């Protein structure tokens, strides 16, 4: 039996460098709220939905829940700032090894999908001109339960008519590796040594992965 029968990629931090743009945008929000926030705290936000990320910042600052209007205003401001920062995204912003792996899987007829928490995923894939590689892009608008729930990856596998155990999930975030493992996928942690022990395998970049 051949393995893997399918590949599922997280987007921010695995395919493209946008995780840094998320950090810069959330840092601005945290500064406004007076919450100490560095790349270390940002680790806990990676892979979380936009709403859960802001809740996490409030939690980090021991701030009480805020009214819905203010909360939504902060979400919109963060997203506008983030979107402005990714307007000029292009293929050159893909992380090392991405294009080579996508090409090689395509050549071997191994189906591929994106499983991302981001509601901006289709916009980003468009900018990177990668759409033709994927059977489906499952994004943050298509799930009821965000990572660490496995729904995003289960939907991707289901669309490709594959069982979780036949697929590899590539992830850079704790929430994403947990989502993959609880869904029954083989999880490869990419570029984030802190989550290596949670995954089945760790690689520093996709250049280290060979089909």
Q: How far is the CB of 197 from ligand B16 (least distance, A)?
A: 19
- How far is the C-alpha of 187 from the C-alpha of 176, rounded, in Å? 9
192 lies in the binding site for ligand B16 (CB under 6 A)? no
12 lies in the binding site for Mg ion (CB under 5 A)? yes
Binding to Mg ion in span 165-204, by CB under 5 A:
172-173
Q: Hunting for tokens 């990320």 — which residue is that?
A: 53
Instruction: Give the range of 12-20, 63-71, 87-95, 181-189 binding ligand B16 by CB under 6 A.
Output: 12-20
- How far is the C-alpha of 96 from the C-alpha of 117, rounded, in Å? 21
CB closer to Mg ion out of 13 and 97: 13
130 lies in the binding site for ligand B16 (CB under 6 A)? no
Binding to ligand B16 in span 44-103, by CB under 6 A:
45-50, 53, 79
10 is an active site residue: yes
Which residue in 129, 121, 120 sits closest to 93, CA to CA?
129
- How far is the C-alpha of 112 from the C-alpha of 165, rounded, in Å? 15
Instruction: Give the range of 12-20, 30-38, 62-70, 200-208 binding Mg ion by CB under 5 A.
Output: 12-20
CA angle 149, 97, 151 (to 5 degrees): 10
- How far is the C-alpha of 107 from the C-alpha of 115, rounded, in Å? 21
Asked whether the beta carbons of 33 and 54 are under 8 A apart, the reply is no
Binding to Mg ion in span 115-174, by CB under 5 A:
172-173
Pick from 10, 41, 166, 174: which binds ligand B16 (CB under 6 A)? 10
139 is an active site residue: no
């Amino acid at each position: 039996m051949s393995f893997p029968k399918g590949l599922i990629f997280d987007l921010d931090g695995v395919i493209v460098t946008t995780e840094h743009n998320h950090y810069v945008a959330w840092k601005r929000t945290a500064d406004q709220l007076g919450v100490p926030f560095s790349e270390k705290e940002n680790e806990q936000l990676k892979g979380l939905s936009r709403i859960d990320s802001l809740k996490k910042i409030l939690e980090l600052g021991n701030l009480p829940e805020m009214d819905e209007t203010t909360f939504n205003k902060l979400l919109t401001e963060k997203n506008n700032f983030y979107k402005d920062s990714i307007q000029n995204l292009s293929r050159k912003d893909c992380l090392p090894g991405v294009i080579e792996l996508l090409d090689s899987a395509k050549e071997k007829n191994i189906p591929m999908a994106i499983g991302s928490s981001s509601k901006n995923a289709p916009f980003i894939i468009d900018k990177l001109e990668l759409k033709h590689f994927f059977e489906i892009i499952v994004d943050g608008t298509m799930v009821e339960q965000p990572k660490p729930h496995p729904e995003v990856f289960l939907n991707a596998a289901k669309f490709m008519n594959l069982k979780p155990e036949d697929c590899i999930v590539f992830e850079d975030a704790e929430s994403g590796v947990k989502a993959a493992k609880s869904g029954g996928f083989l999880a490869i942690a990419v570029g984030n040594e802190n989550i290596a022990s949670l995954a089945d395998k760790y690689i520093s970049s996709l250049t280290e992965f060979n089909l």
